[in-house]
Amino acid sequence: MKKVLMVYGTRYGSTKFTANNLAKEMRKLKLDVKVLDLKKEKWISPQGYDGLIVGVSVAMFKWAKEPVKYLKKFKKDINVPLGIFISSAMSVAERDGAIKKFIDPQMEKIGLKYDLADGFGMYSDLSKKMGFAKGILRSMVLGFSKDRGKEYKSTGINDFVHYDRIKIFAKDFAMLIKKRS
């Protein structure tokens, strides 16, 4: 069974949610996926894995710091297919724009090339404690809810995740691994 390491950095939980969904899809494709929360768990090298996926929370136009540090730390060990996905408000409606704005420049700064990139939208659980961010998230998801005629839940889950893209990403990544081996 081919092994995939998926690491992520989340601030408010959306990247964790999408990482777990992506892992579920990849396991359906018979891949052995290890998911690692870079804020909470011990970091491991991608060496010995057949693919690496990095999930990134975007806020205030910036990546969460852990995925940046992880990619820099293990840059030399990354010689397998590399997938990057973001969780960002912009990626709810403007997937291509979000990749150009938030993924490409940061990867150039780090000095790494990805094989696959996507933005999976966002998932906001507004029942959770999160300080000042909650007001900002509320106004974002209220706007998305209005635009899409969806019910807005001021103290609950507002789901603007592109599950279709998660499935496609899983399939495309599995193909990349197959091609390289």
Ligand X SMILES: Cc1cc2nc3c(=O)[nH]c(=O)nc-3n(C[C@H](O)[C@H](O)[C@H](O)COP(=O)(O)O)c2cc1C
Which listed residue (61, 131, 151, 179) binds ligand X by CB under 6 A? 61
Which listed residue (5, 7, 10, 71) binds ligand X by CB under 6 A? 10
Shortest Å distance, C-beta 119 to ligand X: 8
Which listed residue (2, 4, 25, 57) binds ligand X by CB under 6 A? 57
Which listed residue (5, 12, 25, 176) binds ligand X by CB under 6 A? 12
* Amino acid in position 44: I
Which listed residue (75, 133, 156, 180) binds ligand X by CB under 6 A? 133
Shortest Å distance, C-beta 79 to ligand X: 28
Q: What does the chain look like in DSSP terms, one character per residue?
A: --EEEEEEE-SSSHHHHHHHHHHHHHHHTT-EEEEEETTTS----STT-SEEEEEEEEETTEE-HHHHHHHHHTGGG--S-EEEEEE-SHHHH-HHHHIIIIIHHHHHHHT---SEEEE-EEEEETTS--TTHHHHHHHHHHHHHHHHTPPP-TTSEEEEE-HHHHHHHHHHHHHHHHHH-
Shortest Å distance, C-beta 87 to ligand X: 4
**For residues 65-104, which are near ligand X according to CB under 6 A?**
87-90
Beta-carbon contacts of residue 132 (< 8 Å; ≥ 6 apart): none
Six-digit token string for 101: 């704005």
Binding span for ligand X by CB under 6 A among 38-46, 134-142, 144-152, 163-171: 134-142
If one asks whether residue 60 binds ligand X (CB under 6 A), the answer comes out as yes
Binding span for ligand X by CB under 6 A among 35-43, 54-62, 72-80, 170-178: 54-62
| Positions that interact with ligand X (CB under 6 A) | 10-15, 57-61, 87-90, 122, 133, 136-137, 140
